[in-house]
Amino acid sequence: MTPLTSLELLRRQVDEVRELFELLLDHTELKYDDINARTSGMVVVGWSPHRWATPKEGAQRYFGEARQAWQSLHDLISQAVRRSAPERAKPLEAADKLLRNIIEQNNTWTGAPGNSIEAIRYAAAWTAH
């Protein structure tokens, strides 16, 4: 049996990350909460009304697995980018920011990175290309 090339190993790792994010998003929901529409009179500039809802039952394991798989892949890719394609650092940072938002699901002012789970899936799929 022929050993796998580095590129084949990298592709497998990318596929694993993609599958884990799909599972994570399958167990995730969004809610709409526009604090600027409330009667407080306070306006928060840049507030995204699309918020992460409480994850569905059994989702916790996918958060850990996705975090671990993405961190490993990110470390590998960032080394390659630093050495041979530093001009790709900004796109990698953008992908990292998006995927960490999905993993961490913080409800800071930025909220969720889309207005639906499908929009987030589309954005995350785009980062892999």
Residue 2 lies in a domain: no
pTM for the full model? 0.84
> Which residues form the domain of 92?
10-38+54-127
Residue 47 lies in a domain: no
Contacts of 125 (CB under 8 A, 6+ apart): 18
Residue 107 lies in a domain: yes
Contacts of 36 (CB under 8 A, 6+ apart): 43, 44, 47, 49
Give the SS3 label for residue 72.
helix
Distance CA 90, CA 84 (A): 14
Q: Residues of the chain whose pLDDT is less than 70?
A: 35, 37-47, 126-129
Q: What is the pLDDT of residue 125?
A: 85
Q: What is the pLDDT of residue 17?
A: 95
Q: What is the pLDDT of residue 39?
A: 66
Residue 93 lies in a domain: yes
Please tell me the total count of domains within the chain.
Answer: 1
